[in-house]
Structure 1
Amino acid sequence: MKIRRQHIKAHIALYNSLLEKLETLGKPYQSWVKLVDEDAGLDAVYIHTPNPNEDNFPLKIENINWDCTVPKYFKDLINLNEFNVGHYKWESNNSYLIQSKNNGVKL
């Protein structure tokens, strides 16, 4: 679990850095961290913007529970005053989304 926590810290640090840079983007965006309980290799930081190839902005992920219990293994790594945490099932995986309360378009 110690290695996983370091992995999550790195994703959150990257996300915070990206949020700073995205402030100067000049167009709407969505950004979030996804953590997958069953497979840390699927963890990622996402940036989504309007694009000419597909009309899918803003992205909406169905069935996100934004009132979920935040897992102990990362609860102390994020500031819940600044970030929302949501849970959803994708296939058989439990996924958690971490998204800024104040930056970007909400999922």
Structure 2
Amino acid sequence: MKGIKKHRGLKRYYKKLATENDLNKATWLDFDNPENWFDNWHLHFDNKGYGNDSFKRRKPHLDKLFRHFDLLVDKTKRLKTEFQLYSIILDFDSYSDALFLHTPNPNNTQFPFKILDLQSTTTLKNKELNEYINNLDGYEKLYGKADEAFCLIFKKNVGQPF
């Protein structure tokens, strides 16, 4: 029978999502070295796009993203340079949701990074995602539309604002 592909080990996969710290894997991440810089360095948390199937599958990836956001807030206190820490969440593309760290850098990438035409009212059509984002405490939210509606999320008093 052709068609649906069975994904094995999903229970273990989702259990790991809840506990794994991806920052520990990046041994080169050194927040104490004043020579280090980040050119919109980012992490994706749903590399297989499982969250595109349903919000039930997307939520654990978002939970992990925001857990890592808080971990990075703590680590960026050691940075000796200006920075931006933010997340971009797309309306329906879970695979592209990402957490970003950006500093002045030798690549001449614009710092502070700016996205034009952001607004404070939601552009999202995904009701479950919109509700999830509305329930995030301590985060600032700005919305935009490119190929797909998105939400840019950051924390007040953590790095450069948008």
TM-score in terms of structure 1 length: 0.88
Shift of 1:53: 1.6
In the other structure, the counterpart of 1:60 is 114
| Percent identity over paired residues | 28
Q: Match for 2:131 among 59, 65, 72?
A: 72
Contact 1:36 1:94 in 2 (8 A): yes
Give the distance between the partners of 2:133 and 2:159, measured in 1 at CA.
22
Shift of 1:96: 0.6
User: For structure 2, which runs of at least 5 residues remain unmatched after alignment?
Assistant: 1-54, 125-129
Query: What do you get for the CA RMSD once the two structures are aligned?
Result: 1.4
Q: Match for 2:145 among 67, 76, 89?
A: 89
Deviations 1:37-81 (A, max 9, x none): 12111100000100112151001110111x2148113322x10xx
TM-score in terms of structure 2 length: 0.59
What are the equivalent positions in structure 2 for 1:1-107 lying under 5 Å apart? Answer: 1-65=55-119, 67-69=120-122, 71-76=130-135, 78-79=136-137, 82-91=138-147, 93-107=148-162
Q: Structure 1 10/55 Cα, relative in aligned 2: closer, same or farther at 3 Å?
A: closer
3-state SS of paired residue (1:101): strand
> Aligned pairs, how many?
102
The residue identity in structure 1 corresponding to 2:72 is L
3-state SS of paired residue (1:102): strand
User: For structure 1, which runs of at least 5 residues remain unmatched after alignment?
Assistant: none
The structure richer in helix per residue is 2
Give the distance between the partners of 2:113 and 2:77, measured in 1 at CA.
19
